[in-house]
Amino acid sequence: MKSLDPRVNRLPRVGEEGHPQPKAPLDQFGTFEVFVRPRPDKPFQHEGIVHAPDRELAFVLAKEAFTRRFQCTELAVADTRHVLTSDMTDDDVSIYDKLPEPGTPEGAFMSYEIFHLYRRGKQHVHVGSVMARTPLEAMYEARKQFAPQWVVYNIWAIRTIDIRFTQPEERELWLTLPEKKFRDASDYKAGDKLRLFLEQTQHRKP
């Protein structure tokens, strides 16, 4: 069946003989996770993803996609494949109570950035960095160092070197023209104008 709807064309074919085939990749760029720091006294938080051919362009494209309207002091991006994520918990169960033992892994210590999910459906928030040999060890280390007061449902660990941070000289990117009310819906008093228009045209109704 050939359809104009690409989702239909991606459905598995039914009733045909043949060997299993690898799933065809989508014809699009890979994704990068975008983290925004709205103010200097606030931590980075996850805002969403962008598609891009590489990390540098992901940074460039994320700037307009996520920091155009709202306050921002810093932006950071990481390839989605470099985000190591724990399992997810629910209710009052902290994921820190469910982590398997990290053992004593081999290899060199590296810096990892740790992100917590405190509420289901909200964004992951940056809590700090730790030195570890594996992502699991990094999460164990994070529990010791940051002793979270709230239930943590999910943890992300990303190697610091895998993150493209804003350089100090790039902070100027957010010092732009201030009078841009025309970008906000609040600048358009459409409701008032509509009411006025309706009042003026009321008597003309048949």
Q: Summarize as ranges the residues that interact with another protein (CB under 8 A).
A: 28-29, 50-54, 56-57, 60-65, 68, 170, 172-180, 182-183
Max CA separation in the chain (angstroms) = 85
Name the residue with tokens 């000289």: 169
Output 92 or 179, the one with its CB closest to another protein: 179
Smallest gap, in angstroms, from Cβ of residue 193 to another protein? 8
Q: Which is nearer to another protein, 11 or 196 (CB)?
A: 196
The three-state DSSP-derived secondary structure of 12-69 is CCCCCCCCCCCCCCCCCCCEEEEEEECCCCCCCEEEEEEECCCHHHHHHHHHHHHHCC
To another protein, the closest distance from the beta carbon of 146 in angstroms equals 33
Q: Which two tokens stand for residue 19?
A: 């060997």
Distance of CA 142 to the CA centre of its chain: 20
Q: How far is the CB of 174 from another protein (least distance, A)?
A: 8
**Beta carbon nearer to another protein, 54 or 97:** 54
State the DSSP code for 117. Answer: E
114: its two tokens: 């740790």
Which one, 56 or 87, has the nearer CB to another protein? 56
In angstroms, what is the minimal distance from the CB of 67 to another protein?
A: 10
- Tell me how far apart the alpha carbons of residues 82 and 114 are, in angstroms, rounded to a whole number: 13
To another protein, the closest distance from the beta carbon of 38 in angstroms equals 18
For another protein, the closer CB: 57 or 84: 57
